[in-house]
Amino acid sequence: MADDVIERFPTAESAPTSARHGRREVVGRRLGIGLLVVVVVVACLGLLGPASSTTSERVAAGTITMEYDVRTRPGLDTEVLVTVRPEQPAESLALEIDQAALETYGIETFAPEPVEQRTRDDSVVLEFAAADAEAFEVRTSGRTSPTQPPGRTAWQLRWLVDGSPVATLDVTTWVMP
């Protein structure tokens, strides 16, 4: 009768006692818990969500600085701020931005509005009127496409003087799932 009860309601005594079978389960469970802890720690540190960064370059013509989203997600608002401080007063500012950046960020507006826009190879050249300040600021805004696939996009922003690039900022943007 006791054997009948053990068959219907298994207990620890009736479990298989193979050392290899138990060790495999314990190792699998520990690896799973370890992986879960790593993911939670990385998420708590903010390494899985949207983040922004700043990059700059100083050249003879002046300094260019850009604040941009280094990590974004589909459907999120995006913004890029470019600040140029020329050494000599200039009548206009020309920036060349890769088409990849416009697509990744879904850029819709520029502030101030460019006076002239034209395409060149796989990029867009934007010319802005001079401001009465020692620095030009150009702010873009848009929204990452909800259908944007996850992945890495490398792109460049170039500061042009007389049609030639004087400074190039190489950046990478990650679209997270």
Mean pLDDT of 70-86: 91
pLDDT tops 70 at residue 104 = yes
Sort 117 into a burial class: Cβ within 10 Å, 0-12 / 13-18 / 19+: exposed
Shared domain check, 73 and 103: yes
Shared domain check, 135 and 83: yes
Shared domain check, 103 and 165: yes
Can you give the residue range of the structural domain that contains 26?
2-44
Shared domain check, 59 and 33: no
164-175/62-72 β-pairing: parallel
* Dist. CA 55–CA 73, nearest whole Å: 21
Mean pLDDT of 5-14: 61
Shared domain check, 88 and 164: yes
112-126 tens-digit pLDDT: 999 999 998 899 999
114-162 tens-digit pLDDT: 999 999 889 999 999 877 678 889 999 999 989 889 999 999 999 998 8
Question: How many residues are there in the chain?
Answer: 177
The mean of the pLDDT values for the chain is 86
pLDDT tops 70 at residue 85 = yes
Sort 9 into a burial class: Cβ within 10 Å, 0-12 / 13-18 / 19+: exposed
Domain containing residue 112: CATH number: 2.60.40.10
pLDDT given for residue 134 in this prediction:
83
Shared domain check, 167 and 102: yes
Number of domains in the chain: 2
What residue type is assigned to position 129 of the chain? Answer: A
pLDDT given for residue 8 in this prediction:
67
Highest mean pLDDT among 38-47, 48-57, 128-137: 48-57
Q: Which two tokens stand for residue 167?
A: 């400074």
Q: How confident is the model at residue 47 (pLDDT cuts 50, 70, 90)?
A: confident
